[in-house]
Amino acid sequence: MKPISLTQFLIEQQREGRINADLRLLIEVVARACKRISIAVGKGALGGVLGSAGTENVQGETQKKLDVLSNEILLEANAWGGHLAALASEEMDDPHPIPDRYPKGEYLLVFDPLDGSSNIDVNISVGTIFSVLRCPEGVKNPDEKAFLQPGTQQVAAGYAVYGSSTVLVLTLGDGVHQFTLDREQGNFPLTHSRLRIPEDTSEFAINMSNMRHWEPPMRRYIEELLAGKTGPRGRDFNMRWVASMVADVHRILTRGGIFIYPRDLKDPGKPGKLRLMYEANPMAFIVEQAGGAATTGRERILDITPAQLHQRVPVFLGSKNEVERVTGYHLAADRAGEPA
Ligand code: AHM
Ligand code: MG
C-alpha cells in the first residue's frame, strides 16, 4: 500500500481534533523549510555553502555559512503564514517578532536550524530540531519571557536529519512518526509509525574525551559499561558518537541506546553543553513519546522551567532502564553528600 504523505497525516490529525489548522500549517511550513535546507546541505561544495560565515552566535560559537542560511530559511518560511506569534533560534540572541505587516498566530516556534554543524564540512549527518509552544494568553508582543515554559507545555516537536536520506521525525503528543523525503516527488511519505525505543540497550553515545571532567557518578556509570562482560554489568557495551545530536538520537530511536552529554566540570559556569529549549526539550518530548526517558541526571528534562532562552542542561536520554540507572547513580551520590 502506498504510504500516506505528511500532508495527509496532518489532515487526519486535524480531523481527529488533535491539532488545529494553524498547527497543521506550522508543521507543513517547517517541513518545507527542512526540504530547502536538505537541498542546500546536499549541494555541499557545489553550493558554495561550506565553511565559516566569519560571525559568532550568542553562545560565542563560530557560525557556519549553513547555520546562517538554515536560520534564514526557517525565518523566512515562517514569517508570513499567520500561524506564529514569534520565533526563537540558537543562532539569534533574542526572539524574532513576526513583522507587523503579517497577521500573528497563537504559536511560538523555537529551533536549532542546523544541529551538529561542526560536521558539515566533513560530509557527516546534520539536522534541524524544533519545538512548538503556545503563546501565553493576552501576550501581543512575545519577548523572551513568553518562551520560558517547561517542556511539558510543548504541543509539537520534531527534527530532520540530513543524512544518507532526509528524514523528518515528529510528535504531536500522540506517539512518534517518521517521514522520509522523496527527493523526486518533493514530499514526505510516512515511513514509520509509533516508533518505540527498546527499554534495554547495550549501546551508549558520549564524548569520552571529557571523561576526566565528569562528576563521580557519571564516571562510575561509564566505567561499569567499559568493564563489559567481566564487570558489574555482566555484558559488553558498544559505543557510537556522531557528534550530531540529531543523528545520535535518531539511531537511538531506531535501535535503542543511551545518549549522554553530562555536566562538565571543565567549565563550572556551564551546566552542560546542550541547550534546553531547542535541543533537550524537543528531543526529550520525542524520546518520552517513544517510550524512552530523558533526564538531566537528576530530574526529568521536561519538568524544568527555563530561566533563559539559551540555557544549557546536562542531557541523558534514550532507553529507559539505562537512563533510570545512571540517574539513580547521581541521586544516590547527592544523598551520600559526595563532592562533585
Ligand atoms: P551545535 O548545535 O552547535 O551543533 O552543538 C551541538 C552538538 C550536538 O549536536 C552534539 O551532540 C554535540 O554538540 C557534540 O559535541 P562535541 O563536539 O563535544 O562532540
Ligand atoms: Mg545544536
The ligand 1 atom nearest the CA atom of 112: 2
Q: What is the pLDDT of residues 60-85, one digit of tens each?
A: 777 778 888 999 999 999 999 999 99
The pLDDT value recorded for residue 1 is 82
Tens of pLDDT, residue by residue over 206-243, are 999 999 999 999 999 999 999 999 999 999 999 999 99
What pLDDT, on a 0 to 100 scale, did the predictor assign at position 225?
A: 98
Please check the confidence at residue 340 and state whether its pLDDT lies above 70. Answer: no
Mutate to test the pocket of ligand 1, among 274, 275, 312 (most ligand atoms within 8 A of CB): 274
Q: Which pairs from 97-106 meet CB under 8 Å and 24+ separation?
A: 97/141, 97/142, 104/140, 105/22, 105/26, 105/81, 105/135, 106/22, 106/134, 106/135
Concatenating the DSSP letter of every residue in 177-214 gives: EEEE-BTTTTB-BEEE-S----S--SEEE--GGGGGGS
Closest CA to 176 of 277, 307, 61, 283: 283
Q: Is the CB of 115 under 6 A from ligand 1?
A: yes
Q: How far is the CA of 45 from the centre of ligand 1 (A)?
A: 22
Nearest CA to ligand 1 atom 19: 243
Which ligand has its closest atom nearest to the C-alpha of 119?
1
Distance 250 CA to ligand 2 centre (A): 14
Cα separation, 191 vs 169, whole angstroms: 10
Grid coordinates in use for 266? 571543565
pLDDT tens for each residue of 252-276? 999 999 999 999 888 888 889 999 9
6-192: what CATH class?
A: alpha beta
Residue 102 has pLDDT above 70, yes or no: yes
Q: What does pTM read for this prediction?
A: 0.96
Question: 141: annotated binding-site residue?
Answer: no
Report domain extents, the chain.
Answer: 6-192, 203-335
Across 46-55, 83-92, 143-152, 207-216, least confident range: 46-55
Cα of 185 vs centre of ligand 1, distance in Å, is: 32
Whether residue 115 is annotated as binding a ligand: the answer is yes
Average pLDDT, the chain: 95
- Residue 128 is predicted with a pLDDT of 98
Q: How far is 91 from 88, CA to CA, in rounded Å?
A: 8
Between CA 340 and CA 322 the distance in angstroms is 21
| 223, amino acid identity | E
- Is 5 part of any known ligand binding site? no
Residue 337 among known ligand-binding residues: no
Q: Is 164 annotated as a binding residue?
A: no
- The secondary element (H helix, E strand) that includes residue 124 is none
Ligand 1: does its nearest atom lie under 6 Å from the Cβ of 116?
Answer: yes
Per CATH, domain 203-335 is 3.40.190.80: yes
Query: Residue 51's pLDDT is what?
Result: 79
In terms of pLDDT, which residue wins out, 286 or 58?
286
Cα 332 to ligand 2 centroid, rounded to whole Å? 30
In this structure, the residue with its CA closest to atom 2 of ligand 1 is 115
